[in-house]
């Protein structure tokens, strides 16, 4: 099942959190979900050159708070904050409530699955060989701390007549382990030969929960069997008590076989 199921949906409420965080009754749920999808599509088109990794939408008390994760926050903000003000005005018009926009910087874009997938699709649209683009992305991700990465491309690769699928993997990608922090993303390259789909899995290590705290491995305990000590075993012995460890029961003590009064046996 780990090979087939969506890695993010499989780990929701275990080691991943939702991208839309709000509550709604049965009458408003569909409308609000459709609104979130429209906002994400608008931001993806509007901020195409800003390297946006993901968008988190929250709705506290008849307001909306949108957090945009980008590796190029300066492009989103614009000169003197002009672009972000226009963005906020358009989002308020679409959602009908006051909107607060936060920008978070992605420190390591080379290990973000969405940015890796978008980078590969942009290279494919510029007619760069797909193998070169995939291997370069894998090398950069492993160099900057990823513990494993898998990239899959499907379609008319290099313009061949029959579509095929090729994938490469480096490191570990444990898809069935719930505590594994696996970042998954997809993207599409619109080439002259047709659409080429790209999927990316990035394994960043294990987590303790939705707070993404790293797991600290404890030192392995000594597995050697211990000798059961009885009380009094270490008490110093007096002369004439007991014997040497391992001595046979009934064995003569030292000096027991010596003749007395200097007599010798015949």
Q: Which CATH number goes with the domain that contains 137?
A: 3.30.1140.32
Same domain, 148 and 135: yes
Same domain, 95 and 34: yes
Same domain, 136 and 201: yes
Same domain, 122 and 79: no
> Which whole number is the average pLDDT over 75-95?
90
262 has a pLDDT exceeding 90:
no
When pLDDT is cut at 50, 70 and 90, the band that residue 61 belongs to is confident
**pLDDT at residue 207 in the model:** 85
Same domain, 42 and 123: no
253 occurs within a structural domain: no
Same domain, 40 and 120: no
- Domain count of the fold of the chain: 2
What is the percent of the chain where pLDDT is above 90? 65
When pLDDT is cut at 50, 70 and 90, the band that residue 124 belongs to is very high
Return the structure tokens found at 21: 């965080």
pTM: 0.75
Please tell me which residue, 12 or 225, carries the higher pLDDT value.
12
8 A C-beta contact, residue 191 and residue 125? yes
CA torsion 228-234-237-241 (nearest 10°) is -10
Q: How many CB atoms lie within 10 A of CB 72?
A: 16
Same domain, 55 and 119: no
Q: Which domain holds residue 155?
A: 109-206
CA distances from 155 to 132, 166, 191 (A): 16, 9, 10
Name the 3-class secondary structure at 198: strand
Pairing state between β 64-70 and 52-58: antiparallel
Chain-centre distance for alpha carbon 121: 23
Pairing state between β 52-58 and 99-105: unpaired
Same domain, 71 and 92: yes
Q: For 44-58, 133-147, 190-204, 247-261, which range has the lowest pLDDT when averaged over its residues?
A: 247-261
């Amino acid at each position: 099942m780990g090979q087939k199921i969506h890695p993010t949906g499989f780990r929701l409420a275990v080691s991943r959190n939702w991208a839309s965080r709000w509550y709604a009754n049965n009458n408003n749920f569909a409308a609000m979900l459709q609104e979130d999808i429209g906002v994400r599509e608008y931001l993806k088109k509007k901020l195409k050159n800003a390297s946006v990794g993901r968008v988190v939408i929250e709705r506290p008390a008849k307001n909306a708070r949108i957090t945009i994760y980008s590796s190029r926050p300066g492009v989103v903000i614009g000169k003197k904050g002009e672009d972000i003000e226009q963005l906020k005005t358009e989002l308020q018009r679409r959602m009908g409530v006051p909107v607060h926009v936060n920008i978070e910087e992605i420190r390591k874009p080379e290990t973000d699955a969405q940015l890796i997938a978008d980078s590969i699709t942009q290279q494919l649209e510029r007619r760069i060989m797909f193998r070169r683009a995939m291997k370069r992305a894998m090398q950069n991700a492993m160099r900057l701390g990823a513990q494993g990465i898998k990239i899959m491309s499907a379609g008319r690769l290099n313009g061949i007549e029959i579509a095929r699928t090729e994938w490469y993997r480096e490191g570990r990608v444990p898809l069935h382990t719930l505590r594994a922090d696996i970042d998954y993303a997809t993207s599409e390259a619109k080439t002259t030969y047709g659409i080429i789909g790209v999927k990316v899995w990035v394994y960043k290590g294990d987590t303790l929960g939705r707070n993404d705290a790293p797991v600290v491995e404890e030192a392995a305990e000594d597995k050697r069997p211990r000798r059961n000590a009885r009380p009094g075993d270490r008490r110093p012995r007096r002369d004439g008590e007991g014997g040497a460890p391992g001595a046979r029961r009934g064995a003569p003590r030292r000096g027991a076989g010596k003749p007395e009064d200097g007599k010798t046996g015949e």
